[in-house]
Amino acid sequence: MKPTDPHHSHENCLALFERLSEYIDKELDAPACKDIEAHIKACKPCQVCLDTLKQTVDFCKNLERHQVPETFSLKLKDTISELVRKKSD
C-alpha cells in the first residue's frame, strides 16, 4: 500500500468499512460496488475485513434460536429500568 495512492488512504478504508454491510447485502448501486471491489482487490487489510464480516454474517444466520428463560428477561428489564432511573436522576 503506497501512502501517495489516493485509493488507499486511511480515510478511504474507513469509508469503505462503513458501507461493507450494504455491499454484502447487495443494497448498493453498480458504481458503488465497483468502487468497493476495486479497493478490496488492492487493499489486503480491507480484504480481510470483508472476509471476516462475511463469515460473521454467515455464522449469525446459521445460529440456532433459543428462547431466553422468562426469569432472565424479567431480570434484564429490571436492570435496564434501574439504569434508566439512575441516569435520569
CB within 8 A of 42, min separation 6: which ones? 1, 7, 8
DSSP 29-58: -HHHHHHHHHHHHH-HHHHHHHHHHHHHHH
- State the Cα–Cα distance between residues 58 and 73, nearest whole angstrom: 27
The grid cell for 65 is 434460536
Tell me if the pTM is above 0.75. Answer: no
15, HSE (Cβ side, Cα atoms, 13 Å)? 11
Per-residue pLDDT tens, the chain, 89 aa: give them: 444 455 567 888 998 999 999 999 999 999 999 999 999 999 999 999 999 999 999 998 888 888 889 999 999 999 999 999 888 87
